[in-house]
Structure 1
């Protein structure tokens, strides 16, 4: 098992962005993506660590749990993971499928665990044949 990416919520986005820019630089990571004014991703070749404020309408609340994404070899593995998660009692937060708004080969599935954490399985290889 390996992680694809992790996302955390922050109270003060500009301060957190500056903090992580500084502390991740010695590790060779930079801010690679800022798709919205309150969200950015850091990494070396691809964003693997994300920070954001909470969703619109509740920007000061950081009680929203963590988001963790597990890396999968292909879409079949994502599908199997999703089926196992639902069978184990997770709540669907996005059935398996292409998420082209991330990139054309992004195939993922999302669930919420019993504590409300957003858990994802993802492959960047599209739909397996």
Structure 2
């Protein structure tokens, strides 16, 4: 289940974001969270499986119906289950937008789009 970030989940979000190599440093993590809390064009989403929050996704919105996928992390215990791909599909459907990747997320996003195309064509 996709849900918007709330400050009550700050530690969980920071823990999940820390799985991204460029977010290992605590000060960097705090800056990243602050960016999502303070900028209207940036939004952090959490993914819940049962009672556990297992994923985080950060978007930077542009005014043209496009958003850049800045962060996408899934708890290692839940990887290889398709959660990241489901998060991407869900956000695209819910917000009716086009996603583009940044340096850190571009490859994953391309893999998701290729899988979507393969599923439609089979």
Q: TM-score, normalised by structure 1?
A: 0.28
- If asked which structure has higher relative contact order (CA below 8 Å, sep 6+), I would say 1
Structure holding more helix per residue: 2
Using the size of structure 2 for normalisation, the TM-score is 0.29
Judging by fraction of residues, say which structure has more strand: 1
